[in-house]
Structure 1
Amino acid sequence: MSRAQDREILRLAVPAFLALVAEPLFLLSDAAIVGHLGTEPLAGLGIAAVVLQTIVGLCVFLAYGTTASVARHLGAGDTRGALTQGVDGIWLAVLIGVAATAVGVTFTDTLVSAFGAGPGVTDQAATYLRIALLGTTPLLVMLAATGVLRGLQDTRTPLYVAVGGNALNVVLNLLLVYGADLGIAGSAWGSVLAQVASAAALVAVVVRGARREGAPLHPDWAGIKAAARAGFALVIRTLTLRAALLVTTYAVTIGATTGRDQAVDLAAHQLAFTLWTFLAFVLDAIAIAAQALTGRYLGAGDVAGTRAVTDRMIRWGLWSGVVTGVSLAALSPVLGALFTNDAAVSDRLVAVLLVAAAGQPVAGVVFVLDGVLIGAGDGTFLAWGGLITLAAYAPAALLSVAAGGGLLTVWIAFTVVFMGARLVVLLVRARGDAWLVTGIAGPARSSSLE
């Protein structure tokens, strides 16, 4: 049985792994290209990326919630219903994307100024963010369409689109940043154009499947509203995660003592955060499999199978974290030079990466358990768990700076307090039975959070 589970996990996780590796390469390629423009553009990219990822990250429920609900319908044998819910999710992504773009562009200067960086860094951040926000709607559509395909147990198509989109992003960045001499603005435009192309490709696949099964393509307002209500708890959960990352960047910013130190710390933090995100996506491949498999098993009413496959995925997560941690530690002395010519940034980066490497095994287990509970539709618990974790971490991060610490101490707090608290909260929940609810509907969607 364990071998069959391993094959099933690998069938979903390997393509998801490759797709998730390709996704953060949007930022890694931007960081590599922009980094050679200078320290201020790289630091500005760091601030803009945090804001953009926060806006888009709040809507990750479009992928996660859709994966779980589509997988439940698939497990129950209702493919048409699965695609109907998926189409509703895509329309919801369009509505949220248009609204988020309008708000974000209007308040770009306010958002980047809130970090308190110097004028040079702030100007670079505003230039990048104002353009990059135009890609919000295609990014959210990509999330929703990817969630539909994952729920249908198809992780290969998102892989092909991610690889093609990233390749296009690199080409466009090089042409616009250096060929057209647009600087950091060219990097933003390249990413937006690549995101539009990727979204169009994913939507075409979902539409073809919906037509084959006779699922409606027009907006169904009742279905869209239901998808929004179902995703509310996951929004709260994601908001707490993004808030923790914002607190981390803010703590790094105020921890610097001079303008030069601030630029160096922010640039090193941006590189460390980009690499951490890259590895998080790597580890999240098993979590993606967990979402799809948990939803399908529970939709089919198989509690014992859900427990068994969860145990296997936890083991996979732990050992994957060991591998990524050892790899990051080994490469830490040379990674900085790939992204910046500033020796001070490269030197400061090494110790931070060693701290991040030590936390990788914990991250591997955390991401798997998070995926299992998302696949089970246990969003309400995840929301409350996120609030508890944030309440523990935010004071620790700010106190580490108040006590005279800087970039390194903030990352220690992030690794030990934030990831450690998440591990404890998720393990406690996974050991119980409250999340093991079977059937198409899943757990009750209403809660005190709503």
Structure 2
Amino acid sequence: MRCAAVSRAPLTAARITPGPRERRSRGRCARVSAARWVDVPSGPGTRRSLVGHTHACHAPSRPGRLNQRSLGGSAASRRATSNPHRSRRPSARRFHRTRASGDTDGEAVSTSRAKDDDGARESDEGSLDAAIFALALPAVASLLLDPVLGVVDTAFVGRIRGEGAAEALGGLAVATAVFNFSFKLFNFLAEVTGPLVASQIAAAEAEATALDDAGTTTTNTTTNTTTTTRAEAAETVRGAMTLAVALGIFACVGLELGADSVLRWSGADGVSSGVANSGVDGGNMLRQAEAYLRVRALSAPAALIGTVAVGAYRGLLDTKTPLLVSGAANAVNLVMDPVLIFGFGPVPAFGVAGAAAATTTAEWIAAVVFWKMLVDEGLLPGMDGETRRRDQSQSQSTTEISGTLKGRTNDTGATDNLIGSPGSSIAGWFGALKPLAAGSASQLVRTLILQAVLLRATAEAAGAGAAAPHQICVQVWWVTLFALDALAVAAQSLVASSLGAGDMVSARQAADRCLRWALATGTAVGVGIYAAGPALPGVFTEDPSLIESTRGPLALVASLQPLNAAVFVGDGVLQGAADFDYLAMAMAASAAPAIVMLGAVGVGAETGVAQGAAAEVVSATALQGVWRAMAALQLGRAGTLSWRYWFDGRSPVASRERADEAGKENGE
């Protein structure tokens, strides 16, 4: 019986190379949906065998995957078990057949087999956990490094002394908020690129492995399979980079030409009027903000290049490389900030503009490094003609295998340009952009809806005089988000890779495991917030009244953490399945009641003021209402995502039972 082999992908940051392949008997495999007895062709006759899905071992860098044509995983994983013909989970039918066979040692043998199966299941879970944390731990560090750039700028600008110090820090805050909002709108580039790359590489590797199992390839051809299996993924990355550069240039030009208008739209007029009687020069603060924004806008293309690169590496199941590059960029920013802000030797002091220059330089260095590394991965073209020359130097054996993979070998042995750059034709670039455009539009709508709810929540809190305590709660919310969202990155990558290989079982196993870890992690974070509740506000303020006003909302934030963790992982699972349209619709459905509740908060605050209620009472009531609306948003997201994952048979990650039910309802 021949089954799919372990993928022979090359080493990346943490990739494990499988051992040498052994010659196996010839045969044809068929996938079986669950453990059951089937007749398997074997030589001139048939033999009765119990087969079923097994979960191939998940390496830390790339999970093992079960090919669509496979009965039970790779040869290596079968040899690793005490009984090579046994399913991963013990079968009740096999257990009873053994007891009924009249074997005097049947009970002992069955017990031994059950123990072996328990050990195999524990081993699978352990290796899957290793894969999850190999992705999640670097991801959480990388996610936490992103806001560090802004923290470093704030720390140094806050140490400017003399006249204009307060204006410099206020201008930095306004300009940073504008840039961050603009940048988050394009975060869909990473969310769409990652799952596409992971699924495309996994699908190509599974196809190449199937051909290898069928005896189509030789030793000479297999050495070049990696380049072939990354061809479609390379088109996706190149298309995403094209979109990133175009959007980055557009954002840069827009911010440069409309800096003043953008700052006023972001609330600069309100800031100016609010500080008019506080001893702070509002006009100077706006000038400082404009100086920072104009310099920082130059980094927009670099920031989006980095976003696509992070998504591409997630698709390669490598979150360590983005962490290293981001860490190096932060180190550059840390060194340059004091030099450009305060001056050093012949370098004059640029103040706030110097902070923007340091951050911009660091982001461009990171973009160049990312681009070079993706060239080395074969996902981007290098110097003009470099990729073409490398492709043209491939051996005839590579031509044959790549042609066989896509079935497009012509009479002369040449193939369609599977490995070449899609830049060789305009049609190639547009072809690469098509899958990105479909997912990106939905993700952009989803992001806009979420940002609208968050902005409305802040506006209602500010309108009721609760802006300061609300900001403290939001900061706690965002810090915990970075820790919990790392599991979503792992879920996204593992699900996309498994589905790309046609292995729904492994995809759901990875999703279920990530959800369990998310609930455990979210519970731990929630308990930590609740326990530290009295001390947390003191990190942000020393005002006793503010500290007291945050107690109730922070308790609600703590209780939401398990739910938040599950929601983030659910997003990651459906993003890995490229279910972007549903995610947008789910966000809209979840946001609607939250927006209604936020509107009621505003009405309630106005009513309280009209009835002469104390300002403290109005503020506290409004703040509680705002965070109840946030809870409603998360509950709505949890409900819509749960329905899609567990009950909707049309879902791309539906269980076989739900998919069969949906097929019957549709008459299929």
**TM-score, normalized by the shorter chain, greater than 0.5:** yes
TM-score, structure 2 as length reference: 0.58
User: Matched residues in 2 for 1:324 and 1:34: separation?
Assistant: 32
2:377 aligned counterpart, secondary structure: helix
Asked if the contact 2:235/2:432 (under 8 Å) is kept, the reply is no
CA distance in 1 between partners of 2:628 and 2:290 (Å) = 29
Partner of residue 433 from structure 2, selected from 203, 215, 225:
225
1:63 is the counterpart of 2:190: yes
> In the alignment, does 2:349 pair up with 1:199?
no
Distance in 2 between the 1:44 and 1:354 partners?
33
Distance 1:322 1:46, change over 3 A: farther
Q: 1:86 to 1:348 in 2, by over 3 A?
A: farther
Task: Check conservation: 1:48, 1:125, Cα contact below 8 A.
Answer: yes
Cα distance, 1:290–1:229 mapped onto 2, change above 3 Å = same
Among 248, 252, 265, the alignment partner of 1:101 is 252
Please give the alpha-carbon distance, in whole angstroms, between the structure 2 residues aligned to 1:203 and 1:390.
Answer: 37
In the TM superposition, residue 343 of structure 1 has moved relative to its aligned partner by 4.5
Local SS of the residue matching 1:187:
helix
Q: Would you say 1:161 and 2:362 are equivalent positions? A: no
Work out whether residues 522 and 562 of structure 2, in 8 Å CA contact, stay in contact via their aligned partners in 1. yes
Quick one: distance in 2 between partners of 1:319 and 1:50?
A: 33
3, 8, 16: which one aligns with 2:139: 16
Q: Is the 8 A contact 2:595 2:629 kept in 1?
A: no
Matches within 5 A, 1:308-323: 308-323=509-524
Quote the sequence identity (%). 30
Q: CA deviation at 1:105?
A: 3.0
Counterpart Cα distance in 2 of 1:35 and 1:294 = 44
Number of the residue aligned with 2:650: 434
Deviation of residue 201 (structure 1)?
1.5
Aligned to 1:422: 637
Could you say which residue in structure 2 is the equivalent of 1:361? 562
Instruction: Indicate the SS of the match to 1:295.
Output: helix
* Matched-pair contact (CA < 8 Å) for 1:31–1:271: no
1:367-399 Cα distance to aligned partner (Å, 9 max, x none): 100000011000000111122222222232343
Change (3 A) 1:234 1:301: same
* Contact 1:31-1:45 at 8 Å conserved across structures: yes
Contact 2:601 2:626 in 1 (8 A): no
CA shift for structure 1 position 35: 5.2
SS state of the match for residue 403, structure 1? helix
Work out the CA distance in 2 between the residues paired with 1:324 and 1:10. Answer: 17
Contact kept in structure 2, 1:362 and 1:420, CA below 8 Å:
yes
- In structure 2, the CA distance between the partners of 1:31 and 1:249, relative to structure 1 (3 Å rule), is farther
Q: 1:147 aligns with which of 311, 317, 321?
A: 311
Q: Please show how residues 362-377 of structure 1 align to structure 2 within 5 Å.
A: 362-377=563-578
**RMSD of equivalent CA atoms:** 3.1
Amino acid in structure 2 at the alignment position of 1:90: M
Confirm or deny: 8 A CA contact 2:186 2:304 kept in the other structure: yes
TM-score scaled by length of structure 1: 0.84
**Quick one: which amino acid aligns to residue 22 of structure 1?**
L
Residue type of the alignment partner of 1:23: D
Task: Tell me, in whole angstroms, the C-alpha distance in 1 between the residues paired with 2:625 and 2:354.
Answer: 32
Note the C-alpha offset of 1:189. Answer: 2.8
Match of 1:3 in 2: 126
> What's the secondary structure of 1:24's corresponding residue?
helix
- 2:118 aligned residue: none
* Matched residue type, 1:317: A
Residue 447 (structure 1) aligns with: none
Query: Which one-letter code corresponds to 1:164 in the other structure?
Result: A
1:321 and 1:434 mapped to 2: Cα distance? 29
Deviates more, 1:348-357 or 1:379-388: 348-357
Moved more, 355-364 or 93-102: 355-364
Could you tell which deviates more after superposition, 192-201 or 402-411? 402-411
- Match for residue 242 of structure 2 among 64, 68, 91: 91
Asked whether the equivalents of residues 233 and 383 of structure 1 are also in contact (C-alpha less than 8 Å), the reply is yes
Cα deviation for residue 44 of structure 1 reads 5.0
Between the aligned partners of 1:273 and 1:128, the Cα distance in structure 2 is 24
Output the CA distance in 2 between the equivalents of 1:325 and 1:152.
Answer: 32
Distance 1:436 1:8 in 2: 22
SS at match of 1:23: helix
How far apart, CA to CA, are the structure 1 residues paired with 2:489 and 2:139? 7
1:179-231 deviations in Å (ceiling 9; x for gaps)? 56544433333322221121221111111111588552748431353122332
Q: 1:162 to 1:234 in 2, by over 3 A?
A: same
Shift of 1:315: 1.1
Would the alpha carbon gap of residues 235 and 296 (structure 1) be closer, same or farther in structure 2, given more than 3 Å must change? same
Partner SS for 1:153:
coil
Tell me how far apart the structure 2 counterparts of residues 276 and 133 of structure 1 sit (CA, whole Å): 27
Q: Tell me, yes or no, if the aligned pair for 1:64 and 1:374 is still in contact at 8 Å.
A: yes
CA offset at residue 57 of structure 1? 1.6
Which residue number corresponds to residue 325 of structure 1? 526
SS in structure 2 of the partner of residue 278 of structure 1: helix
After the TM superposition, which of the residue ranges 161-170 and 230-239 deviates more from structure 2? 161-170
Q: Which amino acid aligns with 1:245?
A: L
Change (3 A) 1:177 1:270: farther
Following TM superposition, by how much is the alpha carbon of 1:147 offset from its aligned partner in structure 2, in angstroms? 0.7
Equivalent pairs counted in the alignment come to 429
- Note the residue ranges of structure 1 that are not aligned, 5 or more in a row: 439-450
Task: Point out the more displaced range, 222-231 or 324-333.
Answer: 324-333
For the 8 Å contact 1:356–1:415, the answer to whether it is kept is no
Counterpart position of 1:216 = 421
CA distances 1:145-176 after superposition (whole Å, capped 9, x unpaired): 11111101111100101212223233333333
User: Cα distance 1:45–1:5, how it changes in 2: closer, same or farther (>3 A)?
Assistant: same
Match of 2:502, SS state, is: coil
Partner of 1:248: 457
Give the stretch that moved more between structures: 114-123 or 359-368: 114-123
CA 410–424 in structure 1, closer or farther in 2 if over 3 Å, else same: same
Structure 2 distance, partners of 1:386, 1:376, is: 17
Greater Rg, structure 1 or structure 2?
Answer: 2
